[in-house]
Structure 1
Amino acid sequence: MKLSLCMIVKDEEKTLPKCLGSVRNVVDEIVVLDTGSTDSTVHIANKFGAKVHEFQWCNDFSAARNEALKYVTGDWVLVLDADESLAQKIVPQLQEAIHREEYLLINLVRQEVGAVQSPYSLVSRLFRHHPEIYFSRPYHALVDDSVTEILSKEPKWEVGYLQGVAILHSGYQKDVIDKNNKYAKAQAAMEQFLATHPDDPYVCSKLGALYVETGKISEGVELLARGVTTAEDNYDILYELYYHLGIAYSRVQNLKQAVAHYQAAIKLPIYPMLKLGAYNNLGNLFKTAGDLNHAKIAYENALKIDPNFATGHYNLGMTLKAMGLYTDAIACYQKAIGINPNYADAYQNLGVVLLKLGNLQASLAAFGRAIALHEKNNPQEAQRLRQGLQEMGLI
């Protein structure tokens, strides 16, 4: 089976090398549609052997992605953005899956590296090169609508998914969002789509979540609630709707409603890894409310799903520290640091607990590492921590 990478790009010279490098020995063809780059994006794509085509941007992601599809010659299509890379551990599973005759579409788990909210999502980025598969929706373009149409006419096909993280995505980090003005672009495109599709649960979910993120809580809640009433048995979208309703009610300090929506999200029959964000946020709510036992259970459930969830280990450590279980808290902080060696807050709170236990030398070592890491990303916190240690006569 011949596998083609299909991309649309514009001014991606900083991220494109990592993306293309991640598929260098995986895909048989690289198709890149450039929508007006003024940097070295096209030169980089050519260096990786890509077939580069030009397209005039028309503020419609689906139009651009469908144009790129025209140039694909492979049996299967893998879609990546320049700020994404393919996880190497998934490659054997991916190669096995595209040789199975029953699959039309294979969903992939994407990890949102550095995202403030949900760390994982399921994306429809690997599909058979079928003549009736095409992208729809001007923003968050996806092939799901056309795949649903094909499945209704050709029931021989199935939709599958790969176990484990397949795509690493860095585009949802706050500094990247701010720099690229992503929120404004997304809002304009989705509001235009909503005007003609007012009950579409997918756009209700995406635009509702965007409203909540940008402070338009009541507008976001209205859209998200509307989506819940129309999503029916589309469990993946229902999860997102309930999840973002949980966030919305958390923002307005309505603990009861927030907990109820996170719990509704968790109960849905979806891929377990996608529930990680709901479990973690639920734990945060309980911890803030002082319900440490339920917070502990929520974080432990998150870690059962993903033992490598560094934030989960840290949050569990904070809960155990609040419960006075210092030895267990230390173990959690150390696990978080083992997964993410640059976890400044984990080092800082490890120092706090070690100091409580009287292990001054180890405590100062942990504080020192925390200060060094804070200096890079949060110098004010580094100074605050250093000053606090000086006031206690520890340094």
Structure 2
Amino acid sequence: MTLSLCMIVKNEAASLSRCLKSVEGWVDEMIIVDTGSTDNTPSIAQSFGAKVYNYAWNNDFAAARNFGLQYVQSDWVLVLDADEVLNPEVKPQLQGILQQENLLAVTLLRHEVGAQQSPYSLLSRLFRNHPHIRFQRPYHELIDDCVLALQKQESHWQVGHIPEVAIEHFGYQVDAIATRNKHQRACEIMAAALANNPNDAYLCSKLGALYVDMGQVEPGMHLLQQGLNLDPPEASIRYELHYHLGHTYARCQQAALALHHYQQAVQQKLPGLLKLGAYNNWANLLQDRGQYEQASQQYQQIIALQPDWAVGYYNLGLTRRAMGDLSGAIAAYRQAIQKQPDYAEAYQNLGVALFKQGQLQASQQAFSRAIALHRQHNNIAAAKQLQQGVAELGLPDFPYA
């Protein structure tokens, strides 16, 4: 079976090489649709042997992706974005799964690197080169509806799944978000799509959550509730609606309603990793309400579910410190740093806990590293505030490196 990479790009010179290197020599062809780059994105793609096609952007991601699909010559299609890479450890599994005759598509687990809320997502990014499989929706585009329709028409088709992380996504890192102001464009595209299809619970979820993030809480909450009222059959959509409502009610200081929706979210029949955000926010609410023992137990359950998630250890550290267990807090912060060495907040809180224990030299070192990382992440205000706080603690001057 042959495999094609199919992508849409625009001004991705900073990240495209990393993406293409992750599949170089593994895919049989690369199809790149350029939607109007003004940098050297096309030449970078061509240096990897990619076939580059120009497309006039029309605010429709599905249309752009489908434009590229018409040029695919292989049996299967892999879709990536420029800020993603394919995990090399899953390639042997993927090669084996592509040989299965009745598979129509494969859902892939994506790690949202740097995301503090929902660090994993499940996407249909690997599918047969079938004329009836095309992307739908102009934003947050998916092939899922087409796959489901084909399964209903021809019952032999199946959808596969690989439980390990297949894609690493770097678009949620703080620096990446700061350089891309996409919210207004996303709102306009999704609002127009929802006006044409008001019964689309998926769009209600995505647009409602975006409104809330932009501070438009009332219309956002209305859309999220509208999506729930549509009673979507997909567990993933129900999860997102409950999750975002939980987040919204927590933001509005309505803890009881927030807890209700987080509890509803985790009851959805999905892989545990996809529900980490709801489990974590639920635990955060318990901590905010002073229910430290219950919060600590939940954070430990989160860590057991995903031992590599630094945020779980960090939050456990906050809870242990609130309980007066400085040794437990220090151990948790150090675990967070081991999992994520550039975790500025973990170093900062480690410094506080060490200071309270009287370990002044170790505290100095932790604060120094936290300040350096804040600066490295361009969080200058946090660095200055911490440096002033350290001085107020009476610690002697030390190098911030």
TM-score (norm 1): 0.96
Note the C-alpha offset of 1:62.
1.2
Paired with 1:10 and 1:280, the residues of 2 have a C-alpha distance of 35
Deviations 1:193-231 (A, max 9, x none): 111211111111111111111111111111111211224
Paired with 1:134 and 1:282, the residues of 2 have a C-alpha distance of 37
Number of the residue aligned with 1:393: 394
Number of the residue aligned with 2:292: 292
Tell me the C-alpha RMSD between the 2 structures: 1.5
1:330 is aligned to 2:330: yes
Paired with 2:8 and 2:308, the residues of 1 have a C-alpha distance of 32
Contact 2:221 2:245 in 1 (8 A): yes
Number of the residue aligned with 1:8: 8
Which range is displaced more, 381-390 or 284-293?
A: 381-390
Number of the residue aligned with 1:68: 68
Contact 2:11 2:40 in 1 (8 A): yes
Paired with 1:391 and 1:173, the residues of 2 have a C-alpha distance of 32
Inter-CA distance 381–33: structure 2 relative to 1 (3 Å threshold): closer
How do 1:72-151 residues align onto structure 2 when only pairs under 5 Å count? 72-151=72-151
The alignment partner of 2:219 has SS state of helix
The alignment partner of 1:118 has SS state of coil
Deviations 1:311-347 (A, max 9, x none): 1100001101111112221111111111111111111
The amino acid across from 1:117 in the alignment is: Q
Gaps of 5+ in 1: none
Paired with 1:392 and 1:9, the residues of 2 have a C-alpha distance of 50
1:230 is aligned to 2:225: no
Paired with 1:37 and 1:384, the residues of 2 have a C-alpha distance of 40
Gaps of 5+ in 2: 397-401
Inter-CA distance 372–173: structure 2 relative to 1 (3 Å threshold): closer
Paired with 1:50 and 1:160, the residues of 2 have a C-alpha distance of 28
Number of the residue aligned with 2:203: 203
Paired with 2:393 and 2:225, the residues of 1 have a C-alpha distance of 51
Contact 2:116 2:311 in 1 (8 A): no
Contact 2:84 2:167 in 1 (8 A): yes
Paired with 1:391 and 1:177, the residues of 2 have a C-alpha distance of 33
Which range is displaced more, 371-380 or 15-24?
A: 371-380
Inter-CA distance 2–323: structure 2 relative to 1 (3 Å threshold): same
Paired with 1:55 and 1:306, the residues of 2 have a C-alpha distance of 41
Contact 1:104 1:127 in 2 (8 A): yes
Which range is displaced more, 330-339 or 99-108?
A: 99-108
The amino acid across from 1:220 in the alignment is: G
Paired with 1:149 and 1:282, the residues of 2 have a C-alpha distance of 36
Paired with 1:213 and 1:140, the residues of 2 have a C-alpha distance of 16
Percent identity of paired positions between Structure 1 and Structure 2: 52
The alignment partner of 2:274 has SS state of helix
Paired with 1:320 and 1:110, the residues of 2 have a C-alpha distance of 31
Note the C-alpha offset of 1:17.
0.7
Paired with 2:30 and 2:85, the residues of 1 have a C-alpha distance of 14
The amino acid across from 1:229 in the alignment is: N
Contact 1:231 1:237 in 2 (8 A): no
Note the C-alpha offset of 1:368.
2.0
Note the C-alpha offset of 1:247.
0.9
Note the C-alpha offset of 1:268.
0.9
The alignment partner of 1:58 has SS state of coil
Note the C-alpha offset of 1:390.
2.6
Paired with 1:76 and 1:247, the residues of 2 have a C-alpha distance of 38
Inter-CA distance 179–346: structure 2 relative to 1 (3 Å threshold): closer
How do 1:257-336 residues align onto structure 2 when only pairs under 5 Å count? 257-336=257-336
Inter-CA distance 117–297: structure 2 relative to 1 (3 Å threshold): same
Note the C-alpha offset of 1:358.
2.3
Contact 1:375 1:382 in 2 (8 A): yes
Contact 1:116 1:173 in 2 (8 A): no
Deviations 1:243-302 (A, max 9, x none): 111111111111011111011001111011101111111111111221112221221222
Inter-CA distance 290–23: structure 2 relative to 1 (3 Å threshold): same
Contact 1:177 1:183 in 2 (8 A): no
The alignment partner of 1:270 has SS state of coil
Number of the residue aligned with 2:35: 35
Inter-CA distance 181–380: structure 2 relative to 1 (3 Å threshold): closer
Note the C-alpha offset of 1:178.
4.9
1:187 is aligned to 2:187: yes
Number of the residue aligned with 1:382: 383
How do 1:213-252 residues align onto structure 2 when only pairs under 5 Å count? 213-252=213-252
Inter-CA distance 175–367: structure 2 relative to 1 (3 Å threshold): closer
The amino acid across from 1:306 in the alignment is: Q
Number of the residue aligned with 2:399: none
Inter-CA distance 177–371: structure 2 relative to 1 (3 Å threshold): closer
Note the C-alpha offset of 1:176.
3.4
Inter-CA distance 156–213: structure 2 relative to 1 (3 Å threshold): same
